[in-house]
Each structure stands twice: as C-alpha cells, then as structure tokens.
Chains A and B, each alone.
Chain A
Amino acid sequence: MSTRKPLVHALLSAAAAVGFALSASPTFAAEKIVFWNNWDGSRTAQLRSILNEFEKQNPQYVVENVTLSSDTTAQRMLTAVASGDVPDLYMTQANDFPKWAGLGAFRPLDDLVARDGLKLDEIFYAGGIEGSRFDGKLIQFPFKVPTSLMIWYNKELFQKAGLDPDNPPKTWKELEEAAAKTTVRKGDVISQLGVNICLNCSTGSGSENAFIEWLSRNGGEVLTPDAKGVAFDSPQGLDTLKWMLGFSQRTAGGWPNAVRQFGSTFKDLRPSFYAGKMAMIMDGPFLYNIMAKDAPQMLDKVGVFVAPINSDNPQATERYLAYGTPGYAIPKGAKNREGAWKLLQFIGGGSGACTFFTVQKRVDSPLRNCKVDVPEAFAAAFKANGDLVQSRQAPSAFQQVHVRLQQMQEAVLLGNQTPEDALKTAATDVKAILARTN
C-alpha cells in the first residue's frame, strides 16, 4: 500500500467534513438590524434577552441594540438624518414623533400592513394606533398607550386628614378640599404637601404638560381639529389657568412656595411621596412599576384615581387630549427595511412587545392582549385612565407649542403674568409658530 493513501483519505475526510459543516450551517451571513432606543438602566438587559429571542426565531437577522440617553437622542437623530446614516428602527417620543413625521423622515407603514394582512384594530388599542398616524398615514407602531397623568394618594394620610380613602376626589372642588386638608403648613413652611398640580411645570422639563391635562378635564381644546389654528385661548383655557393659580395659592401658599420646598419634577416629588411627606402626587400609571422597584412597601398604602374634572362646567368630561404617541418607526433610508419591519412586528406589535412590558410590570402596553398582573383596584383605575385618551392630530411643531404652553402656565403660577395676559400672548406666539411651520 502506498504511503500516500492515508494522507489522501485524511484530506478527503477533512474536505467532506468541511462540506458537511458548510451545508449544515446557513449559507448566508446574518443581516444586521440597527435599533436605536432609550431603554436604559435595567431595561437594556431585559430588552437584549427579548432581542435574543427574536434572533433565535429569525436566524437571518442579528440586532444591534443601541441604547441612547434621552438627552442626546435629538442630536443623534439629527446627525443621522443629515448624514443619511439612519438606524433601521427608531424609538420616537411623544413630542418628537410629529416633528420627524412632519418632515417625512419615516417610511409610512400602510403598504406593509396591507401586504402582511395585519389587523391593527385587533392588535392595538385605538388611542395608541390613532396617535401613530400623521396626515392620515400610519408612521409607527406605538410602544405604549398615550397616558394621562393620574393622581396617586397615600391612604393613611387621607384617613388622618378625615378623608375617606375609598372615595377619592372626582371634581376639582373635591381635589382642592383634599389638598387643603392634607397640607400641613405654618405660614410658608410646609411640612406636608397635599399635591402639586403642575408637575414638570418648569419650561424645559419633561414632555408632560399640566395645562393640557387640566384643560382636557375642562372641556377645552388645544388646537383646531386640523392642527393649524389655536383653540386654547378659550373661556375654558382661561378658567383652567385661573383654577391652577387659585388652587396653588389656597392650598400651598402659592405654587413657588410648594416648589421651593418640594420641587416640581418626577425626581423631586417621588421621594417625598414615598416618605409620606406628600399626600398626593400627579404621576403616570407607570408609577406602579417604578414604586414596585423603588418603594414596594408603598404599594399597600396607596390608591390611584383619574385626574378630576371641573364640575362647574357641564361640558367637562373625563378625557385626555393626546398629541403624539411614543412608538417605533422605520426611518426613510434604513438599510435593512425588511428586517426592520420584521423586528417592528415583534417588538412593537408582537410577543416581544408584551414580554418586555410584562417583565417590567408596566401597565401601559398598547396591545389589547397583553395583561400585566396588578391588583384589581389599580387595574380598574388604569383601564379607566386608558379609556379617556383622545388622540388629536399634532402639528409637526408640536414640541414648540408644548414648550410655549409650559412657559405660559409657569408665568401664571410664578405670578409673572395674569392668566388673561399669559393666555393672550401665548396664543399669539403659538399662532406664529403654526404659521411658520405649516
């Protein structure tokens, strides 16, 4: 036997093994999907494990998860759009959605929805999906329902103040009565605050807008239905501002006095609420999962109710006007459009979306078939809060409108302008903004 024979056999065997291995593994390189989002902190790892599941189900794709700080997202997206190097999937926030959608930065999804036969009404609650349209086109899938702020209250402090903890306020008058009774104040020094009704009121903080919250409960509108005109300069708008001012003066000796001692942002106020120094706090339903993490002992002591209405106005109903919805959108120029669409269905409207909210114990999923296990008392209030959302067409410059309204309410509460003057000047400015940007 030739000495070369074993060598030839060995080479042939190796070639066969390599051939087998190649035939067993996919013959393609996995395509990358770049996903930009703001899911930071512990949520990054939770999201990653859900994206791993997506990759397992779709081995042709690999997801590059890019976590952005919410402070720098605007900057990153701006440079991405300007350079044409956009992500495949982008997480929008309520205020920047109309901005980018108005500029045509996202690919409309209607044709993809029709092609794949998705029944959006069966997948999403109406508020979320309606708020994801711009100029009649579906631009994104909502990742959460647009949520109105609710009022969380400390039952023990209610009881101490002689209030019925099982019968929380339903009207502005009842809310003021509860706030007055639960505020402990000697002169200007407040040792216990009833409530700060202007959360994130200062210009530049947050996307919440207390004026819109309260105007919604007073039968008012912010803009005309076509989003091209101003509607908040109405008797309801004026009443709302006057009520916010009067409420703060009567219960806390003025809004600046409450802010001086307790602050006005989520981060300022939550620790005081947990410590029993505030009887009520305006916050979203998402406070449930935040409290479960940060102050679980509070969950047994608190209740929650939808923000009350102005009972003096017969037109006032329980509702919240939502301008813009946070969601996931595919930017125009995305390199992997098909992959992005696949991922969007999974993380925006499919099992990934529900799992992600369930592990966080979040109660504001926009999906109809995604239930998080929360105590019945909370669940009923959350459902009521979700039902009162009414989405409105947002102009592309809504962020500017939002900031201008924040400036208006702040000027009134700080005593720098009368409600009449503030409303008038804000209306003039918002008209100019809309004229410039429409």
Chain B
Amino acid sequence: MAEIIVQQRPASARRVRHKASGLSHSTREALWGYLFIAPWLIGFTLFSLGPILATFYLSLSHYDVVSAPRWAGLGNFTRMLFEDGEYRNSLAVTVEYSLIRVPACIAVGLVLAMLINTQARGIGLFRLALYLPAIVPLVAASILWLWLLNPQYGFVNPALRDWFGVVAPNWLRDEKFALLAIVSLSVWQIGHTMMIFLAGLQDIPKELYEAADLDGAGFMQRIRFVTLPMLTPTIYFNLIIGIINSFQVFAAVFILTRGGPAGQTMVYIMYLYRRGIEYLEMGYASAMALVLVAIILSLTILIMKTSDKWVNYDRV
C-alpha cells in the first residue's frame, strides 16, 4: 500500500507576515481568493440574491409594480392553495407533463445512445444528426412545430391522411393531444440526455459484457443485468435534471398554445407568467415561485434519499 506523506510547512513559515501590507500569508491568500471569485459574488448579489430575498418579501404582499407593496401576510398562499382552481390545474398539468416527459426522454435518450454507441463507419454523422435538434433554439423549434402540426398546411396531418387514411387531430388545439404535442417537441430535442447516456455507456467496462457472454446471456439479459444497473448513476442524474426542467417548462408552451386549449397545457410557469407579467400580480407570482422551489427541492431530496436503494455506484 502506498504511503501518503504529508508535508507540512514549518510554523515559522506560516506565520510569515508580508512586510509591506502587514498581513499574514493566509490572510493574503484568502483575500486573493475572494478577489478572484468577486465577479461571481457581485453578480450573484446584484442579480440573484436581491431578487431571491425580494421574492420572499413580495410573496407576503400585494404588489402591482406601480404602487408600493402592501402587506398581505399569508393571503397569497391561502388563495393559491384553497381558492384558485386555475392554480391547482396548472400544478396538475405540470405533474402530468413531467410524468410523460421525464420517462419518455430517459427512454428515448437511452435507446438512441445505445444505437449510436458503436464504432461503425460514419457513426459521427448519425450522432450529429441526432444531436442537432438540441442546439436548435427553442423558439425556432417551436415555430417549426407550429407549421408541422398545422391541420391544413402542415406536414404531419396530410401525411397521415394520404399515407394511412387517418384523420388526425388538430394537435395543438385538441384537449387530448396538445400536451403530448409539447412533449414531442421536448423529446425531439433529446440530444443532451442522449450524449450523457452515451458517456455513461462508454464508461461501462467491457469485461462485464464478456463475462455475461460467457454466462450465455442474450441481448436483453445483457441490457437488464449489465447495462441498466451500470447506468443507474446516469439515469439518476438525468432523472433529477429532467424533473427540474419539466417543472420549469415555459417557452414552448408560450409559443405553441399559451396554456390552451381549455387550460390543458397551462403549465406552472405559464400560469405564473400570466399572473405576474400579464395581470401584474407580482406578490402572487412570487408566492407561486416559492412554492415551486419547495416542490422541486422536495422531489430532489426524495429522489436523493431513495437513490441508495437503486443507484449502483459499484465499479470493477
């Protein structure tokens, strides 16, 4: 076993003071450290900490931006939880969206990663093609979706009609399909998840597959007993990121449906935007934001707490 030798500086050296400034070496070192992180600290204090603290205060007040905030106590929270049916709808829609999107993204991302996890000739092109949608700006992608799904002049409906004789719905204006249409856009932009899975797949030792082969494991058994267990840390990461992103979905909904039809795509942030920006109920919107933070934090902690039971960090 290798010995670790820790060399300590002599006490006399540590106590050396800088002649010009009169500061100790460690103090000077700390000051330099703070100086280097100062840009981030200043940015955080000015642009994040202030708004975060303001959110706490505003959530307890009525604030329309023009007049000064008026104290409301817990009024915004009680209204939100007990009186506002639209709020409850937005929460339910967001949960539904997450329940569809997160597993879909993980499943599709994993399958695509497995397909491109090969050294075949020209695989780079396939990887590029599958990753490309992820770097298309969301606004452009949403407008593309608007056109593709247009019932009269889009690509999807006439293709379904002409090739399969199916009268397809008006995807973005149909209560049953609008949310799925938004999920489909998100799944199309699966590139980042796919690349993380690809990295995870390439990290699985080849010996495990060789051992499985020797034991006579088939394709599905290799996936079940080698790939998936070894990928659990990657799945765990993608799960947490997926949930956080799903609860914050906004731009696609804003462009594609604005929360319609009949509130079926009124996700949490879209409703928060409506209350805060369109109706100028900034106090109420702040309260909504805090509740969202609490929900995401709780879910993340819950997943972290249960990760011991299903995430496998063992390495050979």
Partner-B contacts on A (CB < 8 A): 71, 74-75, 78, 81-82, 99, 103-105, 188-189, 202-205, 256, 259-264, 268, 271-272, 277, 397, 399-400, 403, 407, 410-411, 414, 416
Choose from B66, B260, B266 the contact partner of A81 (Cβ within 8 Å): B66
- Whether A400 contacts B152 by the Cβ 8 Å rule is no
Q: Mostly helix, strand, loop or mixed at chain A's interface?
A: helix
Interface-facing stretch out of B167-175, B220-228, B306-314: B167-175
Chain A, residue nearest B85 (CB):
A429
Choose from A104, A203, A262, A400 the contact partner of B262 (Cβ within 8 Å): A203
Contacts of B66 in A (CB 8 A): 81, 103-105
CA distance A410 to B169 in the complex (A): 17
Contacts of A397 in B (CB 8 A): 279
Which of B151, B167, B278 neighbours the largest number of chain A CB atoms within 10 Å of its CB? B278
- Whether A416 contacts B262 by the Cβ 8 Å rule is yes
Choose from A78, A82, A256, A268 the contact partner of B152 (Cβ within 8 Å): A268
- Whether B170 contacts A263 by the Cβ 8 Å rule is yes
Choose from B150, B266, B278 the contact partner of A263 (Cβ within 8 Å): B150
Shortest A340–chain B CB gap in Å is 19
Partner-A contacts on B (CB < 8 A): 64-67, 150-153, 167, 169-170, 173-175, 254-255, 257-263, 266, 274, 277-280
Choose from A82, A103, A204 the contact partner of B260 (Cβ within 8 Å): A204
Choose from A256, A263, A410 the contact partner of B151 (Cβ within 8 Å): A263
Which of B170, B259, B261, B280 neighbours the largest number of chain A CB atoms within 10 Å of its CB? B280
Contacts of A74 in B (CB 8 A): 277-278
**Would you list 5 pairs from A and B whose C-beta atoms are within 8 A, ordered by A residue?**
A103-B66, A188-B167, A260-B151, A263-B151, A277-B152
- Whether B260 contacts A202 by the Cβ 8 Å rule is yes
Chain A, residue nearest B261 (CB):
A202
Contacts of A272 in B (CB 8 A): 152
Choose from B150, B255, B259 the contact partner of A268 (Cβ within 8 Å): B150
Chain A, residue nearest B275 (CB):
A400
Shortest A202–chain B CB gap in Å is 4
Kindly list 6 other residue pairs between chains A and B, CB separation below 8 angstroms, not including A103-B67, A204-B260. A81-B66, A203-B259, A203-B261, A260-B167, A261-B167, A268-B151
CA distance A97 to B22 in the complex (A): 64
CA distance A70 to B140 in the complex (A): 17
Which of A99, A188, A263 neighbours the largest number of chain B CB atoms within 10 Å of its CB? A263
- Whether B277 contacts A263 by the Cβ 8 Å rule is no
Chain B, residue nearest A202 (CB):
B260
- Whether B153 contacts A271 by the Cβ 8 Å rule is yes
Contacts of A82 in B (CB 8 A): 65
Shortest A223–chain B CB gap in Å is 17
Contacts of A204 in B (CB 8 A): 257-260
- Whether B258 contacts A205 by the Cβ 8 Å rule is yes
Contacts of B170 in A (CB 8 A): 259-261, 263
- Whether A202 contacts B167 by the Cβ 8 Å rule is no
CA distance A205 to B257 in the complex (A): 8
Shortest A81–chain B CB gap in Å is 6
- Whether A202 contacts B173 by the Cβ 8 Å rule is yes
* Total CB contacts across the A-B interface at under 8 A: 85
- Whether B152 contacts A103 by the Cβ 8 Å rule is no
Choose from A99, A256, A262, A407 the contact partner of B280 (Cβ within 8 Å): A99
User: Given the known A-B contacts A105-B66, A259-B170, A263-B151, are A78 and B280 also in contact in the complex, defined by CB atoms under 8 Å?
Assistant: yes
Shortest A53–chain B CB gap in Å is 34
User: Given the known A-B contacts A78-B65, A99-B280, are A264 and B173 also in contact in the complex, defined by CB atoms under 8 Å?
Assistant: yes
CA distance A27 to B189 in the complex (A): 58
Contacts of A259 in B (CB 8 A): 170, 173-174
Contacts of A81 in B (CB 8 A): 65-66
Contacts of A75 in B (CB 8 A): 277
CA distance A263 to B151 in the complex (A): 7
Chain A, residue nearest B171 (CB):
A260
| Smallest CB-CB A-B distances: 10 pairs | A204-B258, A202-B260, A103-B66, A203-B260, A260-B170, A204-B260, A204-B259, A82-B65, A202-B261, A259-B173
CA distance A78 to B66 in the complex (A): 9
CA distance A122 to B263 in the complex (A): 45
Contacts of B258 in A (CB 8 A): 202-205
Shortest B166–chain A CB gap in Å is 12
CA distance A305 to B253 in the complex (A): 36
CA distance A350 to B66 in the complex (A): 31
Shortest A76–chain B CB gap in Å is 10
CA distance A262 to B169 in the complex (A): 10
Contacts of B263 in A (CB 8 A): 203, 407
- Whether A410 contacts B152 by the Cβ 8 Å rule is no
Contacts of B64 in A (CB 8 A): 103
Chain A, residue nearest B167 (CB):
A189
Shortest B121–chain A CB gap in Å is 45
CA distance A204 to B175 in the complex (A): 14
- Whether A271 contacts B167 by the Cβ 8 Å rule is no
User: Given the known A-B contacts A204-B257, A399-B278, are A263 and B65 also in contact in the complex, defined by CB atoms under 8 Å?
Assistant: no
Contacts of B262 in A (CB 8 A): 202-203, 407, 410-411, 414, 416
Shortest A135–chain B CB gap in Å is 15
CA distance A259 to B260 in the complex (A): 13
Contacts of A410 in B (CB 8 A): 260-262
CA distance A82 to B152 in the complex (A): 43
CA distance A124 to B284 in the complex (A): 40
Chain A, residue nearest B254 (CB):
A71
Shortest A407–chain B CB gap in Å is 7
CA distance A277 to B66 in the complex (A): 48
- Whether B152 contacts A263 by the Cβ 8 Å rule is yes
Shortest B286–chain A CB gap in Å is 13
Contacts of B266 in A (CB 8 A): 203
Contacts of A268 in B (CB 8 A): 150-152
Chain A, residue nearest B157 (CB):
A261
Contacts of B260 in A (CB 8 A): 202-205, 410
Contacts of A414 in B (CB 8 A): 175, 261-262
- Whether A400 contacts B167 by the Cβ 8 Å rule is no
Chain A, residue nearest B255 (CB):
A71
